[in-house]
Amino acid sequence: MSAAAEQARGAAVEPDRLDPFSTPRDVDRVFGHDEAIAEFETALRSGRMHHALLLVGPEGIGKATLAYRFARTVLAHGDDGEAGDVPANDPVFRKVAGIAHPNLLVIRRSWVEKSKRYSQWIGVDEVRRLRAFLGNTAGADTWRVVVVDRADELNQNAANALLKALEEPPPRTLFLLVSSAEGRLPVTIRSRTRTLRLAPLADAPLSAAVRAALERDGVEADEKALRLALTLAQGSVRRALELVSGEGIELYDQIIANFEALPALDGAALHKQAEHLAGAGDTERLELYLALLLGLIERLIRAGATGQGASEAEHKLAKALVSKDNLSSWADIWERIFEARAEAFALNLDRSLLVLNTWFGLQELVQEHPVEGAA
């Protein structure tokens, strides 16, 4: 595929973009992940770069942003002994951002015109593009980079096709595989990569990354809401931006109000919430809602066990709902909600019922395991 065709294709296909923010390709600075960057740069300078790197870590912490930083560095400096990032005004930066560099191939989920939605998995036809890309003798004397985002979305046939390329990679080729769910990848693929494990961002780089994104893309945010978003984000830039730019804070407030009412539940209000969350095309809203709910339960469990790690409102909830005697029950319901969420999305089950059953389960837990002395 020509660079012009790839650029046109890239403009239309952005399955994981969080509007209105820039794509990871357009971001000119990585916050945090200093150890991974140092390891990569040392390997490049020494000439001992592994042919395939697997960037693993939680959702939204900058894995794809880091992968494109690595891609720019290799395409600009792979042969000159340099290893620093490429400035935004460099032609290589602009070509990578536009997926217009002839030595870059991006493999990801594709847009299905018939259904007007993105495919659920990366199909084998996407990976088959590797054959022409790697067989292009015009790039044989320079580095070539393949970004697979996200590798855990490869279907079985696509994974098998990628494995063949990983088993016999051409010289001076770097595969960058991005994954938030390493366990979904076949062991055969994992065994042929070098894994870089990336942790959630600490408070300082998280705040810097989120504020930089807001400034870069001209999105205004209330400072109080921003501070709350940073607290709830659990080291994820994407989660913080979802919270501060959309209805995330409103969803969080609804969850807090429901918890404060337990074991009572307002049936009419709960059904209204479920309908709002389960509407067609609202997958991202429901995913955010459930992520916030699961994150809150995690923090309540931690606060119940240690007395630390929660905001004032969450600390009050922990005192009212969680004790050392019922910690295991809270851990069990976290696991049940997590599994029910995965099953509902995988099998396209009734999502309003998922929300209702989640709260009925929480109501039952609080009724059966009350905290002694709680109001």
How many degrees, rounded to 5, is the angle at CA 194 between CA 193 and CA 199?
Answer: 125
**Model pLDDT for residues 145-160, shown as the tens digit of each residue:** 999 999 999 999 999 9
Phi, psi of 60 (to 5 degrees): 80, 15
Going by C-alpha positions, the residue among 71, 317, 100 that lies closest to residue 175 is 71
For residue 25, give both structure tokens: 């390709």
Model pLDDT, residue 120: 81
Residue 200 has what DSSP assignment? P
Residue with tokens 């955010």: 288
The H-or-E segment that residue 55 falls in is strand 52-56
Model pLDDT, residue 140: 60
3-state secondary structure of 362: helix
Other C-beta atoms within 10 Å of 288: how many? Answer: 21
Going by C-alpha positions, the residue among 198, 221, 16 that lies closest to residue 118 is 16
Distances (CA, A) of 162 to 9, 65, 108, 126, 130: 21, 22, 12, 10, 8
CA distance 249 to 172: 47
Phi, psi of 52 (to 5 degrees): -145, 125
Q: Is 63 exposed, middle or buried (0-12, 13-18, 19+ CB in 10 A)?
A: buried
Going by C-alpha positions, the residue among 323, 152, 178 that lies closest to residue 238 is 178
CA distance 262 to 359: 9
Q: Is 115 exposed, middle or buried (0-12, 13-18, 19+ CB in 10 A)?
A: exposed
Going by C-alpha positions, the residue among 42, 88, 43, 47 that lies closest to residue 68 is 88
CATH superfamily name and code, 3-197: P-loop containing nucleotide triphosphate hydrolases (3.40.50.300)
CB contact at 8 A, 105 and 169: no
The full set of domain ranges for the chain reads 3-197, 247-368
Strands (E), 83-219: 104-107, 111-112, 117-118, 144-149, 173-179, 194-197
Q: What is the mean pLDDT of each run of 10 residues along the chain (375 residues)?
A: 45 71 95 96 92 95 97 89 87 96 94 78 94 78 93 95 94 95 93 97 97 96 91 91 88 94 93 87 84 91 82 89 94 94 86 96 96 73
Phi, psi of 53 (to 5 degrees): -115, 135
Model pLDDT, residue 8: 42
CA distance 289 to 239: 11
CB contact at 8 A, 242 and 288: yes
Mean pLDDT score of the chain: 90
CA distance 123 to 161: 10
Going by C-alpha positions, the residue among 352, 4, 28 that lies closest to residue 209 is 28
**Model pLDDT for residues 178-203, shown as the tens digit of each residue:** 999 898 899 999 999 999 999 999 99
User: pTM for the complete prediction?
Assistant: 0.81
Centroid of chain to Cα 148:
14
Model pLDDT, residue 7: 45
